[in-house]
Amino acid sequence: MEIHKYEKWWMIFGTGTLIVFLIILGVSAFHSGTHPNNSKWTIDYEKVDEYAPFDNPGLHKVEGKDWDYEVVLVAQAFAYNPTEIEIPVGSKVRFIATTKDVIHGLEVAGTNINMMLEPGYVSEKITTLDKAGTYTIVCNEYCGTGHALMYSTLKVVDTNDNSN
Protein backbone atom coordinates (compact mmCIF):
# COMPACT_ATOMS: atom_id res chain seq x y z
CA MET A 1 0.00 0.00 0.00
CA GLU A 2 1.35 3.35 -1.03
CA ILE A 3 0.50 6.60 0.74
CA HIS A 4 0.40 9.79 -1.29
CA LYS A 5 3.09 12.34 -0.38
CA TYR A 6 0.49 14.95 0.70
CA GLU A 7 -1.12 12.42 3.02
CA LYS A 8 2.30 11.72 4.53
CA TRP A 9 2.83 15.46 5.10
CA TRP A 10 -0.56 15.78 6.81
CA MET A 11 0.13 12.74 8.99
CA ILE A 12 3.52 14.18 9.98
CA PHE A 13 1.91 17.59 10.61
CA GLY A 14 -0.88 16.05 12.74
CA THR A 15 1.52 13.90 14.74
CA GLY A 16 3.88 16.84 15.24
CA THR A 17 1.01 19.05 16.40
CA LEU A 18 -0.06 16.39 18.91
CA ILE A 19 3.49 16.09 20.26
CA VAL A 20 3.81 19.89 20.61
CA PHE A 21 0.44 20.00 22.41
CA LEU A 22 1.52 17.27 24.85
CA ILE A 23 4.83 19.04 25.54
CA ILE A 24 3.03 22.34 26.25
CA LEU A 25 0.56 20.51 28.50
CA GLY A 26 3.38 18.79 30.39
CA VAL A 27 5.34 22.00 30.87
CA SER A 28 2.29 23.90 32.11
CA ALA A 29 1.28 21.05 34.44
CA PHE A 30 4.64 20.41 36.07
CA HIS A 31 6.90 23.40 35.55
CA SER A 32 4.31 26.17 35.98
CA GLY A 33 2.58 24.48 38.89
CA THR A 34 -0.79 23.94 37.24
CA HIS A 35 -2.12 20.84 38.96
CA PRO A 36 -5.10 19.61 40.95
CA ASN A 37 -5.63 20.91 44.45
CA ASN A 38 -2.94 19.50 46.71
CA SER A 39 -4.40 21.05 49.82
CA LYS A 40 -3.51 19.21 52.98
CA TRP A 41 -6.48 20.86 54.69
CA THR A 42 -9.62 18.85 54.02
CA ILE A 43 -13.06 19.03 55.64
CA ASP A 44 -16.44 17.33 55.38
CA TYR A 45 -18.20 19.52 52.82
CA GLU A 46 -21.60 18.58 54.22
CA LYS A 47 -20.66 20.08 57.61
CA VAL A 48 -18.72 23.19 56.53
CA ASP A 49 -20.57 25.44 58.99
CA GLU A 50 -19.34 23.31 61.90
CA TYR A 51 -15.63 23.78 61.18
CA ALA A 52 -13.56 26.79 62.20
CA PRO A 53 -12.99 29.23 60.56
CA PHE A 54 -15.97 28.58 58.27
CA ASP A 55 -18.38 28.81 61.20
CA ASN A 56 -17.66 32.59 61.16
CA PRO A 57 -17.06 33.76 57.56
CA GLY A 58 -15.89 37.31 56.90
CA LEU A 59 -12.91 39.56 57.57
CA HIS A 60 -10.82 38.95 60.68
CA LYS A 61 -7.85 41.00 61.95
CA VAL A 62 -4.99 38.71 63.01
CA GLU A 63 -1.93 39.26 65.18
CA GLY A 64 1.43 37.50 65.10
CA LYS A 65 1.12 36.22 61.52
CA ASP A 66 2.84 37.18 58.27
CA TRP A 67 -0.45 38.76 57.15
CA ASP A 68 -2.71 41.45 58.62
CA TYR A 69 -6.16 40.01 57.87
CA GLU A 70 -7.86 36.73 57.05
CA VAL A 71 -10.87 36.65 54.75
CA VAL A 72 -12.94 33.51 55.21
CA LEU A 73 -15.32 32.78 52.31
CA VAL A 74 -17.84 30.00 51.83
CA ALA A 75 -19.27 29.32 48.39
CA GLN A 76 -22.57 27.54 47.86
CA ALA A 77 -25.27 27.34 45.22
CA PHE A 78 -24.99 30.72 43.52
CA ALA A 79 -23.76 32.79 46.49
CA TYR A 80 -20.69 33.68 48.50
CA ASN A 81 -20.78 34.26 52.24
CA PRO A 82 -20.09 37.08 53.06
CA THR A 83 -21.54 39.12 50.20
CA GLU A 84 -19.39 42.20 50.89
CA ILE A 85 -15.90 42.60 52.38
CA GLU A 86 -14.09 45.84 53.20
CA ILE A 87 -10.30 45.81 53.64
CA PRO A 88 -7.84 48.70 54.24
CA VAL A 89 -5.55 49.41 51.29
CA GLY A 90 -2.02 48.04 51.63
CA SER A 91 -3.12 45.11 53.80
CA LYS A 92 -1.56 41.71 53.42
CA VAL A 93 -4.50 39.30 53.35
CA ARG A 94 -4.88 35.54 53.58
CA PHE A 95 -7.97 34.33 51.72
CA ILE A 96 -9.35 31.02 52.98
CA ALA A 97 -12.23 29.50 51.03
CA THR A 98 -14.22 26.33 50.49
CA THR A 99 -17.53 25.21 49.02
CA LYS A 100 -20.53 23.39 50.42
CA ASP A 101 -21.80 21.78 47.24
CA VAL A 102 -20.14 21.73 43.79
CA ILE A 103 -16.93 23.06 42.27
CA HIS A 104 -16.88 26.86 42.21
CA GLY A 105 -14.28 29.39 41.19
CA LEU A 106 -13.27 32.43 43.20
CA GLU A 107 -11.74 35.22 41.15
CA VAL A 108 -11.35 38.79 42.32
CA ALA A 109 -11.47 40.63 39.01
CA GLY A 110 -8.52 43.00 38.53
CA THR A 111 -6.26 41.25 41.09
CA ASN A 112 -4.08 38.15 41.25
CA ILE A 113 -6.64 36.29 43.39
CA ASN A 114 -7.97 33.25 41.52
CA MET A 115 -8.80 29.95 43.21
CA MET A 116 -10.75 26.82 42.43
CA LEU A 117 -13.01 25.74 45.28
CA GLU A 118 -13.64 22.02 45.51
CA PRO A 119 -15.99 20.29 47.96
CA GLY A 120 -14.00 18.85 50.85
CA TYR A 121 -10.88 20.95 50.21
CA VAL A 122 -9.79 24.31 51.59
CA SER A 123 -8.12 26.75 49.18
CA GLU A 124 -5.80 29.51 50.37
CA LYS A 125 -4.14 32.55 48.82
CA ILE A 126 -2.01 35.23 50.47
CA THR A 127 -1.74 38.57 48.69
CA THR A 128 -1.29 42.28 49.33
CA LEU A 129 -4.07 44.61 48.22
CA ASP A 130 -2.23 47.79 47.20
CA LYS A 131 -4.84 49.48 45.03
CA ALA A 132 -7.97 51.06 46.50
CA GLY A 133 -11.21 50.33 44.68
CA THR A 134 -14.26 48.12 44.47
CA TYR A 135 -13.63 44.67 43.04
CA THR A 136 -16.14 42.05 42.01
CA ILE A 137 -15.65 38.51 43.26
CA VAL A 138 -16.98 36.16 40.59
CA CYS A 139 -17.38 32.43 40.17
CA ASN A 140 -15.30 31.48 37.14
CA GLU A 141 -16.26 27.78 37.13
CA TYR A 142 -19.68 26.95 35.71
CA CYS A 143 -21.71 25.71 38.69
CA GLY A 144 -25.30 25.56 37.44
CA THR A 145 -28.18 27.67 36.18
CA GLY A 146 -27.61 30.56 38.63
CA HIS A 147 -23.88 30.76 37.90
CA ALA A 148 -24.10 34.21 36.29
CA LEU A 149 -25.73 35.60 39.45
CA MET A 150 -22.95 34.37 41.76
CA TYR A 151 -20.85 37.32 42.88
CA SER A 152 -19.68 39.22 45.91
CA THR A 153 -17.92 42.55 46.44
CA LEU A 154 -14.45 43.34 47.80
CA LYS A 155 -13.89 46.97 48.77
CA VAL A 156 -10.29 48.03 49.28
CA VAL A 157 -10.53 51.36 51.09
CA ASP A 158 -8.03 54.07 51.92
CA THR A 159 -8.54 54.67 55.65
CA ASN A 160 -6.66 58.00 55.38
CA ASP A 161 -9.01 59.33 52.70
CA ASN A 162 -11.36 61.83 54.35
CA SER A 163 -13.29 62.68 51.18
CA ASN A 164 -16.23 60.44 52.22
pTM flag (> 0.85): no
In this predicted structure, what is the pLDDT of residue 5?
Answer: 87
**How many folded domains does the chain comprise?**
2
Nearest to 85 by CA among 153, 160, 8: 153
| HSE, side-chain direction, 13 A CA sphere, residue 124 | 14
> Is residue 16 located within the same domain as residue 61?
no
Average pLDDT, integer, range 125-152 = 94
Query: Is residue 39 assigned to a domain?
Result: no
> Is residue 97 located within the same domain as residue 28?
no
Query: Is residue 102 assigned to a domain?
Result: yes
Cα–Cα dist 88/70, whole Å: 12
Cα–Cα dist 132/104, whole Å: 26
> Is residue 82 located within the same domain as residue 19?
no
CB neighbours of 116 closer than 8 A, spacing ≥ 6? 37, 103, 104, 105, 106, 123, 141
| 153 and 80 Cβ atoms separated by less than 8 Å | no
Which is higher by pLDDT, 2 or 152? 152
Is 28 a residue whose pLDDT tops 90?
no
